Amino acid sequence: MLRNAEKQDSIAIRTLVRSANLNPFGLNWRRFVVAVNLSRHVIGCVQLKPHRDGSLELASLVVKEEWRGSGIARALIEKIVENHDGCLYLMCRTDLGSFYEQFGFNQAANQALPPFFRRVSKLADRLQQITKKKEGVLIMCRDCGELGLT
Protein backbone atom coordinates (compact mmCIF):
# COMPACT_ATOMS: atom_id res chain seq x y z
CA MET A 1 0.00 0.00 0.00
CA LEU A 2 1.21 3.52 -0.82
CA ARG A 3 0.52 6.55 1.34
CA ASN A 4 1.92 9.95 2.17
CA ALA A 5 4.58 9.68 4.85
CA GLU A 6 3.72 10.50 8.44
CA LYS A 7 5.99 11.92 11.13
CA GLN A 8 6.54 8.49 12.69
CA ASP A 9 7.97 7.28 9.33
CA SER A 10 10.96 9.65 9.48
CA ILE A 11 13.33 7.16 11.15
CA ALA A 12 12.39 4.38 8.72
CA ILE A 13 12.91 6.76 5.77
CA ARG A 14 16.36 7.81 7.01
CA THR A 15 17.32 4.19 7.63
CA LEU A 16 16.23 3.13 4.13
CA VAL A 17 18.02 6.02 2.41
CA ARG A 18 21.25 5.39 4.32
CA SER A 19 21.06 1.66 3.61
CA ALA A 20 21.15 2.45 -0.11
CA ASN A 21 24.07 4.91 0.27
CA LEU A 22 21.93 7.75 -1.09
CA ASN A 23 22.20 11.41 -0.14
CA PRO A 24 21.06 11.57 3.51
CA PHE A 25 20.50 15.35 3.43
CA GLY A 26 17.15 17.02 2.81
CA LEU A 27 15.05 14.12 4.06
CA ASN A 28 11.91 15.95 5.15
CA TRP A 29 9.27 13.27 5.78
CA ARG A 30 6.52 15.66 4.59
CA ARG A 31 7.76 15.32 0.99
CA PHE A 32 7.77 11.51 0.94
CA VAL A 33 5.44 8.83 -0.31
CA VAL A 34 6.02 5.48 1.36
CA ALA A 35 5.14 1.89 0.58
CA VAL A 36 4.09 -0.16 3.58
CA ASN A 37 3.55 -3.90 4.02
CA LEU A 38 0.55 -5.53 5.68
CA SER A 39 2.14 -4.92 9.09
CA ARG A 40 2.35 -1.21 8.20
CA HIS A 41 6.17 -1.22 8.17
CA VAL A 42 7.83 1.07 5.62
CA ILE A 43 9.37 -1.03 2.84
CA GLY A 44 9.97 1.69 0.25
CA CYS A 45 10.06 5.45 -0.16
CA VAL A 46 10.50 8.30 -2.62
CA GLN A 47 10.36 12.08 -2.32
CA LEU A 48 9.63 15.11 -4.45
CA LYS A 49 12.58 17.27 -3.43
CA PRO A 50 12.63 21.03 -4.15
CA HIS A 51 15.90 22.88 -4.81
CA ARG A 52 16.73 26.53 -4.23
CA ASP A 53 16.78 27.22 -7.97
CA GLY A 54 13.12 26.17 -8.22
CA SER A 55 13.78 22.77 -9.79
CA LEU A 56 12.09 19.64 -8.45
CA GLU A 57 13.69 16.22 -8.17
CA LEU A 58 12.30 12.73 -7.87
CA ALA A 59 14.76 11.63 -5.18
CA SER A 60 15.56 9.14 -2.45
CA LEU A 61 13.89 6.19 -4.21
CA VAL A 62 14.62 3.08 -2.15
CA VAL A 63 12.92 -0.28 -1.71
CA LYS A 64 14.02 -2.75 0.96
CA GLU A 65 16.13 -5.45 -0.62
CA GLU A 66 13.74 -8.30 0.15
CA TRP A 67 10.91 -6.42 -1.62
CA ARG A 68 12.83 -5.48 -4.78
CA GLY A 69 11.46 -6.83 -8.03
CA SER A 70 7.86 -6.73 -6.83
CA GLY A 71 6.84 -3.48 -8.55
CA ILE A 72 7.13 -1.21 -5.52
CA ALA A 73 9.65 1.18 -7.12
CA ARG A 74 7.43 1.42 -10.20
CA ALA A 75 4.37 2.23 -8.05
CA LEU A 76 6.28 4.88 -6.07
CA ILE A 77 7.55 6.56 -9.25
CA GLU A 78 4.11 6.49 -10.85
CA LYS A 79 2.59 8.06 -7.72
CA ILE A 80 5.05 10.99 -7.81
CA VAL A 81 4.67 11.44 -11.57
CA GLU A 82 0.86 11.36 -11.55
CA ASN A 83 0.69 13.96 -8.78
CA HIS A 84 3.14 16.38 -10.41
CA ASP A 85 2.63 18.56 -13.46
CA GLY A 86 5.64 20.19 -15.02
CA CYS A 87 9.35 19.65 -15.23
CA LEU A 88 10.80 16.96 -12.98
CA TYR A 89 14.45 15.88 -12.67
CA LEU A 90 16.20 12.85 -11.24
CA MET A 91 19.75 11.62 -10.80
CA CYS A 92 20.70 7.99 -11.20
CA ARG A 93 23.53 5.69 -12.20
CA THR A 94 23.96 5.63 -15.97
CA ASP A 95 22.94 1.96 -16.14
CA LEU A 96 19.49 2.85 -14.75
CA GLY A 97 18.61 5.34 -17.48
CA SER A 98 16.55 2.88 -19.51
CA PHE A 99 14.48 2.01 -16.43
CA TYR A 100 13.45 5.65 -15.96
CA GLU A 101 12.75 6.16 -19.68
CA GLN A 102 9.61 4.03 -19.31
CA PHE A 103 8.23 6.78 -17.04
CA GLY A 104 8.89 9.53 -19.58
CA PHE A 105 12.33 10.64 -18.34
CA ASN A 106 15.08 11.45 -20.85
CA GLN A 107 18.70 12.40 -20.46
CA ALA A 108 18.90 16.13 -19.80
CA ALA A 109 21.16 18.39 -21.85
CA ASN A 110 23.91 19.82 -19.62
CA GLN A 111 23.58 23.33 -21.05
CA ALA A 112 19.87 23.39 -20.17
CA LEU A 113 20.20 22.15 -16.58
CA PRO A 114 19.06 24.32 -13.67
CA PRO A 115 21.96 25.59 -11.51
CA PHE A 116 21.69 22.85 -8.87
CA PHE A 117 21.93 20.03 -11.40
CA ARG A 118 24.66 21.80 -13.38
CA ARG A 119 26.82 21.89 -10.23
CA VAL A 120 26.09 18.24 -9.45
CA SER A 121 26.88 17.22 -13.03
CA LYS A 122 30.28 18.96 -12.93
CA LEU A 123 31.12 17.40 -9.57
CA ALA A 124 30.06 13.92 -10.74
CA ASP A 125 32.17 14.26 -13.90
CA ARG A 126 35.22 15.26 -11.84
CA LEU A 127 34.74 12.40 -9.40
CA GLN A 128 34.40 9.94 -12.25
CA GLN A 129 37.67 11.20 -13.74
CA ILE A 130 39.46 10.95 -10.40
CA THR A 131 38.15 7.49 -9.53
CA LYS A 132 38.35 6.25 -13.14
CA LYS A 133 35.06 4.40 -12.68
CA LYS A 134 33.14 3.52 -15.83
CA GLU A 135 29.78 4.07 -14.14
CA GLY A 136 28.71 7.69 -13.90
CA VAL A 137 25.78 9.83 -12.86
CA LEU A 138 22.96 10.49 -15.30
CA ILE A 139 20.67 13.49 -14.92
CA MET A 140 17.27 12.96 -16.47
CA CYS A 141 14.21 15.13 -16.86
CA ARG A 142 10.52 14.69 -17.61
CA ASP A 143 8.15 17.26 -19.12
CA CYS A 144 10.89 19.87 -19.38
CA GLY A 145 10.23 20.73 -23.02
CA GLU A 146 12.88 20.77 -25.72
CA LEU A 147 15.37 22.57 -23.47
CA GLY A 148 15.88 19.53 -21.28
CA LEU A 149 16.66 16.93 -23.94
CA THR A 150 20.05 15.90 -25.26
Segments of the chain assigned to CATH 3.40.630.30: 1-84
In this prediction, residue 133 carries a pLDDT of 73
pLDDT in tens, the chain (150 residues): 999 999 999 999 999 999 999 999 989 999 999 999 999 999 999 999 999 999 999 999 999 999 999 999 999 999 999 989 999 999 999 999 999 999 999 999 888 899 999 999 888 888 777 877 777 889 999 998 765 554
Report helix, strand or coil for 31: helix
Class of domain 1-84: alpha beta
In this prediction, residue 136 carries a pLDDT of 82
In this prediction, residue 146 carries a pLDDT of 63
DSSP 102-135: TTT-EEBPGGG--HHHHHHHHHHHHHHHHHT-S-
In this prediction, residue 150 carries a pLDDT of 47
Task: Specify the DSSP element, H or E, that contains 28.
Answer: none
